[in-house]
Amino acid sequence: MKKIFSLLAFCPLLFSVGKLSAKDVFVNTPKTTLMLSVNEGSTPRIHYYGSRISHSQAQEIYDAMSINYDAYPAFGRTSFDETALSVTHADGNMSTELAITGSRQEGDLTIISLKDKAYKFFVDLYYKANSESDVIETWTVIRNGEKKPIRLEQYASGVMTLRQEGAWITHFHGTWAAESQMTEEPLTPGLKTIVNHDGVRTAMDDRAEVMISLDGKPQENSGRVIGAALCWTGNYKLRLETRGKYRHTLIAGIDELHTAYTLRPGESFQTPELALTYSTEGKGGVSRAFHRWGHNVKLHNGHQVRDILLNSWEGVYMNVNQEVCEQMMDGIRELGGELFVVDDGWFGRKYRRTDDTQGLGDWMTDTQKLPDGVPALLKAAEDRGLKFGIWIEPEMTNSKSELYEAHPDWVLAHPTRELSKGRGGTQLVLDMSNPKVQDYVFSIVDNLVKGNPKLHYIKWDCNMSMNNYGSSYLTSDRQSHLVVDFHRGLRSTLERIRAKYPDLVIQLCAGGGGRVNWGFMPYFDEFWVSDDTDAQQRLFIQWGTSHFFPTMAMAQHVSASPNHQTGRIIPLKFRFDVAMTGRLGMEMKPSDLNDREREYAKKAVAFYKEIRPVIQLGDQYRLLSPYEGNGFCSQMFVTEDKSEAVFFCYKFEHYVDLHTPRWHMAGLDPDATYRLTEFECSEHEHYFEGKTFSGKFLMETGLDANLSRQFSSRVIRLKKI
């Protein structure tokens, strides 16, 4: 049973249920404190966020005059700064003036209640402390007590203000097949905005996570860093306003563009969570806090190791049939894999899914390809001792489909506009705000599992943006609700699926990593990091993604050479060594491997099974960044008790006189002695095999492990003696 964390253990001002009697509120995790003042009749103020302090130190915070800023600024009263809330009241007044009416603590929650001084308009600020991860979640609940509808123009989830000269920001952006590219830059005066307007795939471009380094240029394992992640599946906006050189205010929430939301009398609106953490161990400390939070709180089945799978996509694309699938099953079984997944191309009757122009929405087996249907594929996998999975894209349809012919009103569209179509020139997005569409999407999964009770895995894809803004279901006065209600409907559908099928493994895919966001993670076991399977480019994509997401959720596959996206020729060992730092899989026809490669792949799969708990459940330490521009990269994984670790290093560029750096490790027990073993060294020598070193030596002095050629790599396993 999970431990219940109580603020009472750390702050004598709080008691189990009831009002907080003093003006200072401490939201404590094991290593951090968020301190606010809650004087009734005033606005709540943020005074401190950092390493954990006791209530007896509150006066030090005030005496130091660190920060003293509004915890949830509203528009209309002294609003020259960026605001978190903007409301048009029933009488047309666009100003809001909030004041504290009370505060209370319920378990791990701190709730601060606010009311407009002139209107029956209420806002509750929620702060949830996590006992095992040093993450604080904050969100708001907004209630309309007025006699007529009000309009929410802006409704952020949370605010964090800090005062620090020389702060830097780390943020992530990208595109299809080049997701999560990392940018690090100083915070300069002005407004930095990170925003996504896609509507559906809200991590394809900018991502809803940032790190703020308080000690200058970000370091991996040292320095003070704040991490923030908005847990919302739809459009979002993160604003970072810097005034002068010192004051930085982060405001994060649903993007207000085209999303004004009307609340009728008595209605309420809950914003998505903003997750925050603070670390003195650099960016890596923030990452490890978010990874632990994912394992313990947010990620579906966060403590269960993931299977090694073969996905059919790059092996045969849409040319699936019973024979070719069985051949791939034989291949992955021989290599030691555990799961076979048939990707796109298995469905469609009237509109057979032979390419991407037709068939989406018609989730009936193509009997020309699979005469005995999905059950025959599942049985073939079961006969080989494999689990079975299947691909779907349930929120989408093609205009060439039986579904669209029967329900043209189910797609996002406006009746006066010509349809803008996506992939294949025919793809459209279903209107998830419509309860009938929600039922239909639920039925896709429900029917698949009911027809195939031993189905183990689903790959849930999403390959189009919200191109057509309009809903046949929403009334004309509520069209601005579309983005929010689409994602509320999607979340409701996912909750239904998870309630009925908690053990079904579901991968989140969106043209690759287009939906990697903590708002989705409670419903998915893992995500497809990128459609780009090139091992060199994956070093960069996976490096960026790992800043906020745990490796067990990162699906990383070994693909063919030359690579299908870049044409790059990369040795099989390097491809495996890159893919083994997450959930290992394959994306190719195993029969394309020659005998020597096949024998190597068997060894690599067997080795990964040995180190899998360390990789998927251990603490990750990023060491040498590929973004440093020197052609090298390294990282390692360490068990919680520091008894075992796995170290990876790579050389992905080569020039004359490019010398291998000395590799310094991290996260080990400095007083322990570790024995090293090396897996299939690309340098044709196992120099470190069986040698022993202290943890202190490996971290401070390090190893001179040479990498002489481009695409050479080493994997070193460490065990405490």
DSSP 646-666: EEEEEE----TT-PPPPBP--
Among 227-236, 237-246, 509-518, where is mean pLDDT lowest?
237-246
User: According to the model, what pLDDT value does residue 288 have?
Assistant: 98
| C-beta of residue 621 within 8 angstroms of C-beta of residue 543 | no
Residue 248 has pLDDT above 50, yes or no: yes
Yes or no: say if 535 and 578 are a contact pair by the CB < 8 Å rule: yes
Q: Judge contact between 89 and 119, C-beta under 8 A.
A: yes
The sign of the CA dihedral 641, 642, 645, 650 is: positive
pLDDT band at 526 (very low <50, low <70, confident <90, very high): very high
Quick check: 103 pLDDT over 50? yes
CATH number corresponding to 7-298: 2.70.98.60
| CATH 3.20.20.70 domain span(s) along the chain | 343-525
Which positions are annotated as active-site residues? 461, 531
Out of 73-82, 399-408, 481-490, 668-677, which region has the weakest mean confidence (pLDDT)? 73-82
**Token reading at 284:** 């890596």
Q: Is the model's pLDDT at 19 over the cut of 70?
A: no
Q: How many helices (H) and strands (E) does the chain have?
A: 12, 36
Instruction: Give the pLDDT score at 17.
Output: 37
> H or E element: which one contains 693?
strand 692-694
Domain with CATH 2.60.40.1180 in the chain: 622-720
Mean pLDDT across 332-352? 98
pLDDT at 683: 62
Domain 343-525, CATH among 3.90.1150.10, 3.20.20.70, 3.40.640.10, 3.40.50.800: 3.20.20.70
Cβ 410 vs Cβ 467: under 8 Å: no
Whether the CB-CB separation of 558 and 576 falls below 8 Å is answered with: yes
Give 610's contacts (C-beta < 8 A, 6+ positions apart): none
Extended strands (E) in 432-553: 457-460, 505-508, 526-528
- E-assigned strands of 577-672? 583-587, 619-624, 632-638, 644-651
User: Which amino acid, one-letter code, is at 602?
Assistant: K
Asked whether the bond before 562 is cis by omega within 30 degrees of 0, the reply is yes
pLDDT surpassing 60 at residue 75: yes
Over residues 317-323, mean pLDDT? 97
pLDDT for the residue numbered 684: 61
Decide: helix, strand or coil at residue 595: helix
Q: What percent of the chain has pLDDT over 90?
A: 91
- If you search the block for the tokens 């290599």, which residue do you land on? 335
| Residues 188 and 247 sit within 8 Å (Cβ to Cβ) | no
pTM comes to 0.95
- pLDDT class of 432 with cuts at 50, 70, 90: very high
Rounded average pLDDT over 275-301: 98
Q: Where are the beta strands (DSSP E) in 509-553?
A: 526-528
Cα(463)–Cα(449) distance, integer angstroms: 23
Q: Which of 85, 88, 86 is nearest to 140 (CA)?
A: 85
DSSP letter assigned to residue 538: H
Contacts of 317 (CB under 8 A, 6+ apart): 343, 344, 345
The pLDDT assigned to 67 comes to: 86
Residue 295 DSSP class: I
d(CA 105, CA 18): 6
**Mean pLDDT taken over the chain:** 94
Q: Is the pLDDT of residue 21 over 70?
A: no
The whole-number pLDDT of residue 66 equals 76
| E strand or H helix that includes residue 98 | strand 98-106
- pLDDT category at 699 given cuts 50, 70, 90 is very high
DSSP H/E element including 194? strand 190-196
Mean predicted confidence (pLDDT) in 269-296:
98
| Euclidean distance between CA atoms 626 and 336, whole angstroms | 31
- CATH class of the domain whose range is 622-720: mainly beta
Tens digit of pLDDT for each residue in 610-653?
999 999 999 999 999 999 999 999 999 999 999 999 999 999 99
574-616 per-position pLDDT tens digit: 999 999 999 999 999 999 999 999 999 999 999 999 999 999 9
| pLDDT at 698 exceeding the cut of 50 | yes
- Condensed to tens digits (0 to 9), the pLDDT of residues 367-386 reads 999 999 999 999 999 999 99
For range 77-98, the mean pLDDT = 91
Coil, strand, or helix at residue 275? strand
Element (H, E) at 46: strand 45-51
Q: Is the pLDDT of residue 7 over 60?
A: no
Query: Is pLDDT at 210 greater than 80 in this prediction?
Result: yes
Instruction: Specify the DSSP class assigned to residue 533.
Output: -
> What's the average model confidence in pLDDT over 320-324?
97
Instruction: Tell me what the mean pLDDT of segment 417-434 comes to.
Output: 96
pLDDT of 339: 98
Instruction: Tell me the DSSP string of 396-446.
Output: EEESSSHHHHH-GGGBS--TTSPPP--GGGTEEEB-TTSHHHHHHHHHHHH
- pLDDT band (50, 70, 90) for residue 682: low
CB 129 within 8 A of CB 111: no
Provide the pLDDT for residue 223: 97
Phi-psi region at 445: left, alpha or beta (left = phi > 0; alpha = psi -120 to 50): alpha
Mean pLDDT of 113-131: 97
Domain with CATH 2.70.98.60 in the chain: 7-298
Nearest to 170 by CA among 206, 207, 211, 203: 211
Torsion of CA 509, 632, 623, 521, to 10 degrees: 0
Closest-CA residue to 320 (of 331, 308, 328, 332): 328
pLDDT at 284 over 90: yes
Backbone angles phi, psi at 477, to 5 degrees: -85, 0
Average pLDDT over residues 539-563: 98
Q: Residue 523 above 50 pLDDT?
A: yes
Q: What is d(CA 91, CA 486) in angstroms, rounded to the nearest whole number?
A: 29
User: Could you tell me the pLDDT band of residue 79, with boundaries at 50, 70 and 90?
Assistant: low
Checking if the pLDDT of 490 tops 60, the result is yes
Residues paired with residue 114 on neighbouring β-strands, in sequence order = 100, 123
State mean pLDDT over 336-365. Answer: 98
In this prediction, residue 142 has a pLDDT band, given cuts at 50, 70 and 90, of very high
Q: What is the pLDDT of residue 15?
A: 29
Q: How big is the chain by its Cα radius of gyration, in Å? A: 26
